Amino acid sequence: MFQSIRVGGTGRDTLVVGYFQGQAFDTATAKVLKQVDPSGAAAGALKRPESTGDAGAIAEAFASAKGGQTTRVLVVGLGKPEALDTDAVRTLAGNIGRKLAAVKATGVQLALTPCFEKAGLDLADAGQAFGEGLGLLAWVCDEFKGTAAKKTNRVRLSIRAGESEFDNAMARGVDLAESANFTRTLSQTPPNVATTGFIADMARKLARKTGLSCKILEGEELVREKMIGLINVGKASENKPCLIRLEYKPRGSSGKKPAVLVGKTMTYDTGGLSLKINNGMVGMKRDKDGGCAVLGAMHAIATVIKPRRPVVALLAVAENSISDEAYRPDDVLRYRNGVTVEVTNTDAEGRLVLADALCWACDKEKPAYIIDLATLTGGVVVALGSTFAGMFCEHDGLRGKIEAAAKATGERVWRLPMHAEYRDLMKSPIADILNSNPNRKAHPIQGAAFLSYFVDEKIPWCHLDIAGVHATERSAGCFIEGPTGWGARLLANLLENDTGR
């Protein structure tokens, strides 16, 4: 992949042109080609069988201009104009970027804007999506490679369209991708490195670098603040639990209610005494991805978005481990808001730590709204796969904002239902509620129903279950196999469009 991406340069090495399926080059594209490619190599490439017109299908041509200079021309299929939306542009950028990296292109001139405009796209939206696609594609995490791995040299990519509206947005897109890539690198970091203390250090560093304020509650402070879920879930691990609070507070925002972003940050989930079996534990280093997405969003918020509304991030950080000190099935926990919980399954730990953060948010932050992200249930993976995150939100206004952000970023959400009957499912004969009903009904909804006992009814709240979308097994479009950074861009976009009133 690329060492770096810079928007600008002379674009002399490679020209990228597009065409819609079943159509010839449009007049603006033909004009560009006439200069660079007088002998018509690109027109020839368009006639080759690989030029199917499918979005992302690429044929290569070598154009010789009069001066004897050769330019590589990538002739790129764009599909049907009506299907070319910003999400398609992001994926397209991924496909073009893969080709650019493979041929080690350095100075790239994009001539795609005529087609983007023809498809009715706003050039700034298209530019940002293109930049995001390239930036997401460029993510590499080779920190954990050693001497037995081959070192690859990566090229520095310069890329431009030459239209400032598109190019400025593309640069912004690259920056936003960097925030999502921060999330991905954290997700990738193994649990023996990314301990609870490591996550706290990363939050402190992020705060110092970007001007956020940072407070970390641990030890006695957790006891004082009755963070009973964190204390119990984290008890068995030598890596101690903490609640991380980051705050973005723009000038002139006093009196404005903050958006509160909550993230499940389980640095490892063994299941606890209800131990995970049959290899179900593998990959549970990514059980911190809700919190990592919130950190990535805070990075974007502080460096790129700079919204007018204050934003508070709360990360509930613990390691769900086993030892003689572990919390157990049958334990009863009394929460800060007075609700008591009978633990039936120590593997339903995420909701127990999120409950602390939600109570804190309602109690202390006077939030305009709360959004939590969590790799909460395997059930949501069964239900929605890796295509949509499960969304629980009974507040029409907030749900509208989240759906709009999902549309803009391609981080898709699908609403799942809430109902008093689901809340009843969680009732306990011993305490107020159970952390998991032993029947197998509606697990993702049980999770949301549980959490609802810790949110003040008057505060708009959305729970996003990201267990299916936080990582991918497929290398396609702008993603490679591994973490997707899901949520960092969605939350950033949501705050960008939040007027703060």
Which positions lie near Zn ion, rule CB under 5 A? Answer: 266, 269, 287, 350
DSSP 8-state secondary structure symbol assigned to residue 159: E
Is residue 345 part of the contact set for ligand BES (CB under 6 A)?
yes
The candidate with the shortest Cα–Cα distance to 80, out of 18, 17, 20, is 20
For residue 436, the partner it binds in Zn ion, Mn ion, ligand BES, none, with Cβ less than 5 to 8 A by kind, is ligand BES
Q: Which of residues 270-289 bind ligand BES (CB under 6 A)?
A: 287
Residue 233 near residue 335, CB atoms below 8 Å: no
By C-beta, is 158 or 267 nearer to ligand BES? 267
Q: What token pair was written down for 107?
A: 């100075």
Helices of type H across 410-478: 420-425, 443-452
Judge whether 350 and 264 are in contact, CB under 8 Å. yes
CB nearer Zn ion, residue 173 or residue 447: 447
Distance CA 105, CA 70 (A): 13
| Structure tokens given for 446 | 């049980």
Which residue in 347, 411, 465, 498 binds Mn ion (CB under 5 A)? 347
Catalytic, 399? Answer no
Selected from 349, 356, 372, 411, the binder of ligand BES by CB under 6 A is 349
Query: With contact defined as beta carbons under 8 Å apart, do 97 and 139 qualify?
Result: no
Single out the residue of 347, 365, 372, 411 in contact with ligand BES (rule: CB under 6 A): 347
205 C-beta neighbours (distance < 10 Å), count: 11
**Active-site position among 99, 256, 276, 423:** 276
- Among 222, 231, 341, 348, the residue binding ligand BES under the rule CB under 6 A is 348
Give min distance, CB of 265 to Zn ion, in A: 10
Residue 350 in the binding site for ligand BES (CB under 6 A):
yes
Q: How many CA within 13 A on the CB side of residue 340?
A: 9
Q: Which does 119 bind (CB under 5 to 8 A by kind): ligand BES, Zn ion, Mn ion, none?
A: none
Distance in angstroms (rounded) separating the CA atoms of residues 106 and 362: 51
Q: Which is nearer to Zn ion, 91 or 187 (CB)?
A: 187
Q: Minimal distance in Å, beta carbon 443 to ligand BES?
A: 5
Question: In 3-state terms, what secondary structure has residue 191?
Answer: coil
Q: Pick the stretch among 122-130, 189-197, 231-239, 340-348 that binds ligand BES (CB under 6 A).
A: 340-348
276 is catalytic: yes
Instruction: Pick the closer one to ligand BES by CB: 284 or 398.
Output: 284
- Say how far apart CA 409 and CA 465 lie, in whole Å: 17
Q: List the structure tokens of 485.
A: 């950074």
Give backbone dihedrals phi and psi of 160, rounded to 5 degrees, phi first.
Answer: -150, 155
Closest to Zn ion by CB, 37 or 347: 347
Residues that bind ligand BES in the complex, under the rule CB under 6 A: 269, 287, 345, 347-350, 375-379, 381, 436, 443, 467
